[in-house]
Amino acid sequence: MIRGVRGAITVDCNSEESILIATEELLRQIIEGNNILPEQVASVFISTTEDLNATFPAKAMRKFAGWTFVPVICMRELPIPNSLQMCVRVMMHVNTAVPQEEVVHVYLKGATVLRPDLGNSVAK
């Protein structure tokens, strides 16, 4: 069964360093919170809001041992008026037997406002 594991984090400023640090933190918590191994992952989508364009956040994935061959792509979020800015979002497609209600979705920093309804979410 393939499950979607979601997460998001806000970034302090539009710099390569800030984007990569935040993305790495988000990916680490998604991976650790769900005990994900790279060979379980079908693909990863990473999106940013329009105000984050200093680097490709997918570069953060390269810091994880064994994740070299996991397909990952970056894309842009829709520019909806009054939506959360300075935000990186992740959708990881994972092969797992974990029931959908037990998947740990991770929302960090200002992104905690995006899915307050997910009771098993990590929010810091």
107 DSSP β-pair partners: 8, 123
Catalytic annotation, residues = 6, 62, 74, 77, 89, 107, 115
* Count of other CB atoms within 10 angstroms of residue 82: 5
* Contact (CB, 8 A) for 106 and 88: no
Q: Please report, for residues 3, 90, 97, 98, 112, the alpha-carbon distance to residue 102 in angstroms, rounded to integers and kept in the order given.
A: 11, 18, 10, 6, 18
Distance CA 76, CA 97 (A): 30
